[in-house]
Structure 1
Amino acid sequence: MSENTFQTITSKLWAMANELRGNMDANEFKNYILAFMFYRYLSEHQENYLVTNNVIDVPEGMTVNDAYKEEADGEDLADYLEDISSSLGYAIAPDDTWATLNAKIDNSEIIPSDYQTIFDNFNKNAELNAEAIQDFRGVFNDINLGDSRLGSSTTARAKSLNNIVKLVNGIEFKDENGRDILGEIYEYLIGQFAATAGKKGGEFYTPHEVSKILAKIVTNGVKESDEAFAVYDPTMGSGSLLLTVGNELPHDARSGAIKYYGQELNTTTYNLARMNLMMHDVTYSNMTLNNADTLESDWPDGPDEKGIDHPRSFDAVVANPPYSAKWDNDKTKLKDPRFSDYGKLAPASKADYAFILHSLYHLNNDGTMAIVLPHGVLFRGAAEATIRQTLIEKNYLDAVIGLPANLFYGTSIPTTILVFKKNRKNKDILFIDASKEFEKGKNQNTLTEENINKIISTYEKREDVDKFAHVATLDEIKENDYNLNIPRYVDTFEEEELVDLQEVKKMLAQDDADIKKLEAEIAEQLKILGV
């Protein structure tokens, strides 16, 4: 698909979405349009399953939906739903399909309660497959069908929902070559809603350029393998960072080659992540997502009923957690195996190191972890200094990469990427100062492909680059009292050109002579004019 075609589709869609949302906040409106896109995807995916697996016969001249209605009728319906659910993890009855919903709208047969019925039935059918319940149940719960901003009456609200359905139905999900572009459109919309939502947008979306750097780092050197690659994001937001890691792997096209794990505290955002992964063709069997507080009880596979911990470890861990968030650092957490090796807990007002230690705890011995955090983690003292020193002494910290300011939604502060590995052979730390590697935008700075390639190339080569990168020895780190502030290691000072005072004096004399000459010419002209 050409870039122009994609931009035309997405720009038109965004303009129509903005027109439809009226006085509703963009962050709220996203719950409707993204959810209905997902419902359309599930319904059409089910249609494809029914045909390609010969679950139903579709006579010539009949639509798949009509054939489904005819066959899955009466007492046979339960059997069909069981069959569909066992394969897809969900099932949509003939009366609730996307095609049926649109037909009802077109024929003015829709009634306000139809929407609630559709989603209630979806949740009910999600119970049919025990292995998939967690992936599908409640995924549409963020659609507030009674929101007064949709309309002042039940009928008005139903009309607004009808308009959203028709907007989504008009989206072209395939490009001119027949390739499915739904995932790309969905990702575009998430990014647009994040940009419009300001600070709230930063809670569920990591800019794609930053995600790309993290993904390239944690997949660096990974070879194609018959074994599944497991990636974990403990603060997954919309799940986009997980998907970016998948896209960077050499074997991402093979079904089951990647296992995605993620955790998210915000329920609305958790639902968004479930939808996002599945709309990028991640099957429910290849994703394990959890709606909980990452820093409370450990997940996945924390302590058993006897209190013995069995942590699951991953080939890659990526994270962009909330910066300097508050957390419950009760002293009992010093017994938590995630934190117990470090002697101190992250302060209650700044959970940054708690997220680092949780993530590192779930990294396997051959894996790579990359996490984005504010620069304060590099130099703050007290408990954080103790944890930082211990991490360095354990030889876990591999690289520190300083990013430009104003890259993220909702905050203009510069950030840093910390890279960790457990089985490092070298005992140095690579510092990269990429704070000037950006393209200035109207509201936000962005990383270009050239900026990204420069950072990754420097990370791979692991060599000193004048005013950009330095490989620091452990002795250097110790001399700086384990302070990792990047300017201590990468000197970006640009010496000003020496000024030749004699040359300046000569230029001033010439300027003075020019001025006197000009004044004389003006005086002569005034004399001629008799002034």
Structure 2
Amino acid sequence: MAEENSTVSLQSGLFAAADVLRSKMDANEYKKYILGIVFYKYLSDQQLYKLAEDAGKDDVTLDVAQETYEDNLEEGDLLEEVKSELGYMIGPEYTYTKILANANNGSFQLNQLKDAFTQLESQGNSFEGLFEDFDLYSRQLGQNLQKQTDTIVGVIKAIGKLELVNTPGDTLGDAYEYLISQFASESGKKAGEFYTPQEVSELLARLTLVGKDYSNGMTVYDPAMGSGSLLLNFKKYVPNSSRITYYGQEINTSTFNLARMNMILHRVDLANQKLRNGDTLDEDWPAEEITNFDSVVMNPPYSQKWKADKGFLDDPRFSKYGVLPPKSKADYAFLLHGFYHLKHSGAMAIVLPHGILFRGAAEGKIRQKLLEEGAIDAVIGLPANLFHSTSIPTTIVVLKKDKQDRSVLFIDASKEFEKVKTQNKLRQEDIDKILKTYEERPADVEKYAHLASFDEIKENDFNLNIPRYVDTFEPEPEIDLRDVAKELRDIDQQINENEKELVGMLKELTSSDDDIMAGLQSIIEDFEEEIR
């Protein structure tokens, strides 16, 4: 309970800090300021606490730790030890505690924070370029330097109140995830693509872990990692999570940097992070390192355009299928990329639009080839409106390379969810039901699941549209015609009574105009004729 309360308090504090910027710009813009400053404070505070501890002082405040740092500037061995343990060293004039003190006494200048970021970025590849899109002089922050400074000071002071290091477990990481989800929710389609809802992330990760034991370590890969939330779910469900190595690639530089920060705030060792800023489809990666992953998970952008140049037919990711996914829809390009990098004993789970289940031409040929190989293990239909970036219903495809047969399990989970404001959300019971059904692989679950043989799929011309295999039709309830007749009689009677009442009211009307009275009398006679 203490950890839960800590998370809630931290979440509310972090989101309150966003109020400083909320009126100035869209969440897609201001998220980088909030998340970047939170990240910097975490690194700074971690260093101060560690330095004070190594200097023999426990349970100190950040102000005391700052004093300890400044008093020990000549102790080279102490500082080198801290830097060796943490992998960085923030100068005493650039710690968040020093910056906050300057903000409180009115001496803060924007270049102090800018120089602080630059110093951190210079300390190796792990931090290089982290703040390159962090524009402290943006006119969105204010129309002049003073207003820009005032805005950033407001953010610094708000975040300065929060304890970010001495939190239990992954409290900070979870609060950071919450903040990312809120930004995605506020931004909608503008920024939703960089965030996969936690419920979907959990389901994807756990689907690839069914029947596996990775207590001795594993590698996971997300070629379209966004903010890294999907990868980080493995940390929750794998024993000895310190032995997980995370591989991820993201094309958007801002989102890539966000993923790097997210990993560090979830206390993932830098040595276990293999992240890259690049285009997954244009240039295969990883190419020279380990390319066979225990788990591959992905929620790529749906039906995105890609090059699809003929040269890709010689690319080992696509060559065995004889055709390329169409230029207008890269869905299968992402799927084949991930499947190529899957270990023979591993599992892959990818979210895509339903079109990949039944579209023909090149996609149909690729789908048939995968089915003939026995690569597709399950097709799971999800509810509509789960994602901030789109309201369309989606499907999860689970793939394996070591299947013993070519059957496919179909699950229709599209009707099981709860509505939260304008979004639909998978409940824990919904996730558990999907996982239980996937693990048990029953022949049939009425109106929910069906295990289709290869021959059955072949008879359907390799069309994987879920309604072909799972009948969820609900017949209309039988209608009692006697009840319908009685209801019609009651309605007629009510109309008759209303017309009588109306005629009575019309008869009370008078006018000195003979034409009006004649017209009125005609209307009354028509009603009286109908009533009879």
Task: Give me the TM-score of the superposition, normalised by structure 1.
Answer: 0.87
Output aligned runs, 1:380-399, within 5 Å. 380-399=359-378
Query: Residue deviations 1:169-196, cap 9 Å, x none?
Result: 1124379x85562112111100000101
Q: Paired residue for 2:449?
A: 469
Any unmatched runs of 5+ in structure 1? Answer: 128-132, 303-309, 527-531
The letter of the residue matching 1:154 is: L
Query: Residue 389 of structure 1: SS of its match in structure 2?
Result: helix
Contact 1:36 1:165 in 2 (8 A): yes
Shift of 1:462: 1.1
The letter of the residue matching 2:88 is: Y
Mapped partners of 2:109, 2:495: distance in 1:
89
Q: Paired residue for 1:173?
A: 164
Output aligned runs, 1:441-460, within 5 Å. 441-460=420-439
The letter of the residue matching 1:198 is: G
Q: Paired residue for 2:416?
A: 437
Within the candidate set 281, 284, 293, 2:267 is matched to 281
Contact 1:218 1:367 in 2 (8 A): yes
Mapped partners of 1:317, 1:481: distance in 2:
28
Within the candidate set 106, 110, 116, 2:114 is matched to 116
Q: Paired residue for 2:177?
A: 187
Q: Paired residue for 2:228?
A: 239
Q: Paired residue for 1:99?
A: 97
Any unmatched runs of 5+ in structure 2? Answer: 506-532
Mapped partners of 2:376, 2:37: distance in 1:
43
- Relative to structure 1, the CA distance from residue 476 to residue 410 in structure 2 (aligned partners, 3 Å threshold; closer, same or farther) is same
The letter of the residue matching 1:406 is: N
- Relative to structure 1, the CA distance from residue 514 to residue 204 in structure 2 (aligned partners, 3 Å threshold; closer, same or farther) is same
Alignment size in residue pairs: 501
Output aligned runs, 1:106-145, within 5 Å. 106-124=104-122, 126-127=123-124, 133=125, 135-145=126-136
Contact 1:69 1:95 in 2 (8 A): no
Shift of 1:5: 6.1
Q: Paired residue for 1:272?
A: 258
Mapped partners of 2:169, 2:214: distance in 1:
25
Contact 2:223 2:249 in 1 (8 A): yes
The letter of the residue matching 1:69 is: E
Shift of 1:504: 4.5
Shift of 1:498: 3.0
Output aligned runs, 1:351-362, within 5 Å. 351-362=330-341
Shift of 1:283: 1.2
Contact 1:202 1:409 in 2 (8 A): yes
Shift of 1:410: 2.1
The letter of the residue matching 2:100 is: N
Alignment of 1:259 onto 2:261 = no
Shift of 1:104: 2.0
Q: Paired residue for 2:514?
A: none
The letter of the residue matching 1:146 is: Y
Task: Give me the TM-score of the superposition, normalised by structure 2.
Answer: 0.87
Mapped partners of 1:110, 1:514: distance in 2:
81
Query: Residue 259 of structure 2: SS of its match in structure 1?
Result: helix
Mapped partners of 1:89, 1:366: distance in 2:
35
Shift of 1:379: 0.7
- The RMSD of aligned alpha carbons is 2.8
Contact 1:222 1:249 in 2 (8 A): no
The letter of the residue matching 1:425 is: Q
Mapped partners of 2:73, 2:128: distance in 1:
23
Query: Residue deviations 1:441-468, cap 9 Å, x none?
Result: 3221111112212211211121111111
- Relative to structure 1, the CA distance from residue 80 to residue 96 in structure 2 (aligned partners, 3 Å threshold; closer, same or farther) is farther
Shift of 1:16: 4.2
Mapped partners of 2:190, 2:41: distance in 1:
27
Identity %: 49
The letter of the residue matching 2:410 is: F
Deviates more, 1:261-270 or 1:115-124: 115-124
Contact 2:45 2:165 in 1 (8 A): no
Mapped partners of 2:239, 2:22: distance in 1:
40
Contact 1:334 1:340 in 2 (8 A): yes
Larger Rg: 2
Output aligned runs, 1:45-444, within 5 Å. 45-52=46-53, 54=54, 56-58=55-57, 63-73=64-74, 83-124=81-122, 126-127=123-124, 133=125, 135-173=126-164, 181-223=171-213, 225=215, 227-252=216-241, 255=242, 257-302=243-288, 312-444=291-423
Contact 2:42 2:164 in 1 (8 A): no
Contact 1:320 1:373 in 2 (8 A): yes
Query: Residue deviations 1:295-353, cap 9 Å, x none?
Result: 11211134xxxxxxx76111100000000111111111111111111111111111100
Contact 1:174 1:181 in 2 (8 A): no
- Relative to structure 1, the CA distance from residue 60 to residue 503 in structure 2 (aligned partners, 3 Å threshold; closer, same or farther) is closer
The letter of the residue matching 2:223 is: P
Query: Residue deviations 1:42-82, cap 9 Å, x none?
Result: 11222233344x3x355999822222222224xx66x7665
Shift of 1:510: 7.1
- Relative to structure 1, the CA distance from residue 258 to residue 488 in structure 2 (aligned partners, 3 Å threshold; closer, same or farther) is same
Mapped partners of 1:47, 1:60: distance in 2:
12
Contact 1:68 1:94 in 2 (8 A): yes
Query: Residue 418 of structure 2: SS of its match in structure 1?
Result: coil
Contact 1:217 1:370 in 2 (8 A): yes
